[in-house]
Amino acid sequence: MPAYNITLKDGSSKEELDAAKKKVTDQGGKITNEFTIIPGFTAEFPEDKISVLQSDDKLNVEPDSEVRTQ
């Protein structure tokens, strides 16, 4: 399954983060990392169900990728 970074948009509550985590597990995904500095997490999630998360206007959903510095 592909991995995605899911973060809350400004003004969203902790309850909305908890609801996003529940959506992930309810749809067969798996949370693999929880962020400490910003409200969010990385999850492995079925690609054919990603629209469930993308349609939530309280969430930012981005494919997880490697970040490098030069």
Q: Above 80 in pLDDT, residue 16? A: yes
* 68 located within any domain: no
DSSP 8-state code for residue 1: -
Whether 56 maps to a domain, the answer reads: yes
pLDDT for 30-49, tens place per residue? 999 999 999 999 999 999 99
Q: Which residues are registered as beta bridge partners of 30?
A: 44
Closest CA to 42 of 19, 9, 20, 13: 20
Structural domains of the chain, count? 1
With respect to residue 51, please indicate whether it lies within any of the assigned structural domains.
Answer: yes
Give me the domain span that covers residue 26: 3-63
Residue with tokens 């809350």: 8
Note whether residue 12 is domain-resident. yes
pLDDT, position 61: 97
Q: How far apart (Å, rounded) are the C-alpha atoms in residues 60 and 58?
A: 7
